[in-house]
Amino acid sequence: MISFPTKKCVIKKTKRIQKPTRATKKFYVTTPLYYVNDVPHLGHAYTTIAADVLARFKRLQGFDVWFLTGTDEHGQKIEKAAIAAHKDPKAFADEIVWNFINMWRALNISHNDFIRTTEERHKKVVLQIFEKLKKKGDIYKGTYEGWYCVPDESYWTDMQVVREGDNVLCPDCRRPVERLKEKSYFFRWSKYQKQIENHIKRNPDFVQPVFRRNEITNFIKQGLHDISVSRTATKWGIPIPGDPDLVMYVWTDALVNYVSALGWPDDKKFKKFWPADVHLMAKEILRFHAALWPAMLMSAGIKLPRQVFAHGWWTVEGKKMSKSVGNVVDPLEVIHKYSVDSFRYFLLREMPFGADGDYSDKAMAARHNAELADDLGNLVNRTVVLAEKKLGNVISAVAKPDEDLDALIKSTYKKATGALEQLQFSVALTDIWVLIAAANKYINDSKPWAEKDNATVADVLYNMLETLRIITVLIYPFMPGTAEKIFKQLGVDYRAVRWADASRWGVLKPGTIIRKADILFIKVEAK
């Protein structure tokens, strides 16, 4: 299904997402397509890890999940980057795409499909939808005259550009724009303005977080103008049928991936998984997903996705990530120094999903050392070591839960479930770590190492082991590798684990063998 080059691999609250029912137990989550003019960085990793956590959570809940990611490989920026590298654009894309494939493998991403816009299955659907919109009269030919931003591949009117002295700048990226006059195909975006406004009004959770919805609403109210959907400045794209001098605009090409990957219109996968339950993306491309994509779908007679969710940007020690500054964070370097799960944990714990955040090695080390090594790692190690010393590594009987722990477990399960359904990843992790702290306190207060009564010791250790099992279920979507290691120590088959297991007491049965293993997290010194 996936077309890859032949090369060896190197290694206010939102509405809760639907719960599974007999009628609907599917869940479709997507990342945006990542542009292959450069290597993947912190921002790419953030979106993809968030999507992965959501996909793993829904699978544990019993949903049939389809998780899509991929690469956007057409457009003038790719063509220019290929020319600078003295390569053909397709050959250039074939090389760069492996950076993304290998990155997702290194970050333990569980996507079901990886689509490239240079694949035939994608190009076929793009052309079908283009013709469908054209036949409806929503795509027409005309002449464009105005300003063009090469880096963003966007057209701007005289009213939209920014003027600083003699310079005319793109309102988005603040780089110089060019004056153009060329023949072009246009999409009647303006025709769907009222429909999109009404859809957002009737479905307030369609665009999230709330403050992003307000931004999109204001953007639409300023007026949607018909948009050019073809380009003459580059030959690297999907050719317009009957007009070989023109290629498809990169956004009207790339956005279609969400349905082309499912085999629109007749494939059973499309019929099962569409509409998407959530499109995840960074805030700078929200307007394309929340305003242009819905208009295209309305024109094509395709249902709209249930939700588009835009997260914030990462700065690095208070500064914007930039090659010239030399502060671009390479996820592979971070996971080499710490671990894959430390990186995954940090990104989703450090800031609320939707807000902007700041990355620093000092902050990374602080969370890794204190919350992972000291809190979680220490809990696992001391629990397993005590089970070895006091129980001979074998659970003898199921004990009643400690009342305080039991109440907190039930509360944490409920809170974490609700937070994950609302994409509040940092909230879920905060609640889980409250339970971890309570489990460590329970050990300190109970002092099983000093207890003489064997029955009391067995009860205390069962409470420790069973609480640890429940904690491991809750952290599984965030840190799957770590969770699998802990489950192995507890004698639990991680492949049979379900989210609801975190709400049940007594899953660890008598005769279960506890296995001691290496320390999960080694402390690291910050730069």
- What's the CATH code of the domain at 196? 2.170.220.10
Q: Which helix (H) or strand (E) holds 230?
A: strand 230-231
Instruction: Judge if 145 and 125 occupy the same domain.
Output: no
- pLDDT of 174: 87
Domain boundary among 313, 328, 349: 349
CA–CA distance, 437 with 404 (Å, rounded to integer): 13
Question: What stretches in the chain show pLDDT beneath 70?
Answer: 1-24, 324
Which residue range forms the structural domain that includes residue 199?
138-231
Residue indicated by tokens 């299955």 = 121
Q: Is residue 521 part of a domain?
A: no
The total of structural domains in the chain comes to 3
pLDDT of residue 435: 98
One domain for residues 98 and 150:
no
Structure tokens at 268: 């059973």
CA-to-CA separations, 94 to 75, 117, 238, 332, 447, in angstroms, rounded: 15, 12, 17, 20, 59
d(C-alpha 376, C-alpha 507), whole Å: 21
Determine, yes or no, domain membership for 4.
no
Inside any domain, residue 30: yes
Asked whether residue 225 falls in the same domain as residue 121, the answer is no
Residues 269 and 123 in one domain: yes
Residue 271 and residue 400 in one domain: no
Please give the pLDDT value at position 433.
98
Which pLDDT score, from 0 to 100, does residue 154 have?
Answer: 76
d(Cα 127, Cα 132) in Å, to the nearest integer?
9
Q: How far apart are CA 129 and CA 242, in angstroms?
A: 15
Same-domain pairing of 125 and 261: yes
Residue 6 lies in a domain: no
Does residue 149 form part of some domain? yes
Are 160 and 265 in a shared domain?
Answer: no
Q: Is residue 9 part of a domain?
A: no
CATH number at residue 120: 3.40.50.620
- Quote the pLDDT of residue 4: 44
Rg (CA), the chain: 26
Task: State whether 390 and 481 are in the same domain.
Answer: yes
Whole-prediction pTM: 0.92
What does residue 54 show for φ and ψ, rounded to 5 degrees? Answer: -65, -45
pLDDT for 7 equals 42
Residue whose C-alpha is closest to residue 432's, from 12, 57, 26: 57
Residue 514, domain member (yes or no)? no
One DSSP character per residue, 320-364 reads E--TTTT----HHHHHHHS-HHHHHHHHHHHS-BTB-EEE-HHHH
- Helix, strand, coil shares of the chain, percent, nearest 5, are 50, 15, 35
Task: Based on the fold, state whether residues 156 and 227 are members of the same structural domain.
Answer: yes
Give the long-range contacts of residues 244-247, CB within 8 A, separation 24 or more. Answer: 246/183, 246/184, 246/185, 247/74
CATH no. for residue 404?
1.10.730.10
Phi-psi region of 333 (alpha: psi -120 to 50; beta: other; left: phi over 0): alpha
Pair (116, 160) in one structural domain: no
Paired tokens of 151: 């880096």
Asked whether residue 509 is domain-assigned, the answer is no
DSSP conformation class of 451: -
Could you tell me if 463 and 422 lie in one domain?
A: yes
Is the distance from CB of 356 to CB of 383 less than 8 angstroms?
no
Residue 164 and residue 92 in one domain? no
